[in-house]
Amino acid sequence: MPPSQTPSQTVGPFFGRALPYDGGHELVGEDDPAAVQITGRVLDGAGEPVPDALLEIWTGVNGTRGTLRRTGTGASGFGRCATAPDGSYRFRTARPSGPYLALLVFARGLLRPVLTRVYLADGPDPLLDTLEPARRATLVARPDGPDAYRFDVRLQGEGETVFLAP
Partner 1 sequence: MTPPPDVHPPYLSPAYGSTVLRAPSLPPVTAKQDPEAVELTSPVFGHHEVDPLEADLTRRHDGEPIGERIVVTGRVLDSGGRPVRGTLVELWQANAAGRYHHDVDRHPAPLDPNFSGAGRCLTDDDGRYRFTTIKPGAYPWRNHQNAWRPAHIHFSVFGTAFTQRLVTQMYFPGDPLFPFDPIFQSVPDPAARERLVARFDLDVTEPEWALGYQFDVVLGSTPLES
> In the set 16, 123, 143, 159, which binds partner 1 (CB under 8 A)?
16
Q: How far is the CB of 104 from partner 1 (least distance, A)?
A: 6
Residue 27's contacts (CB-CB under 8 Å, 6 or more residues apart) are 57, 59, 75, 76, 77, 78, 79, 91, 92, 93, 94
Q: How far is the CB of 117 from partner 1 (least distance, A)?
A: 8
Q: Does 165 bind partner 1 (CB under 8 A)?
A: yes
Binding residues (CB under 8 A) for partner 1: these are 2-19, 44-46, 48, 50, 52, 56, 58-60, 64-68, 70-71, 76-78, 96, 98, 100-102, 104, 106-115, 126-127, 130-131, 155-157, 160-166
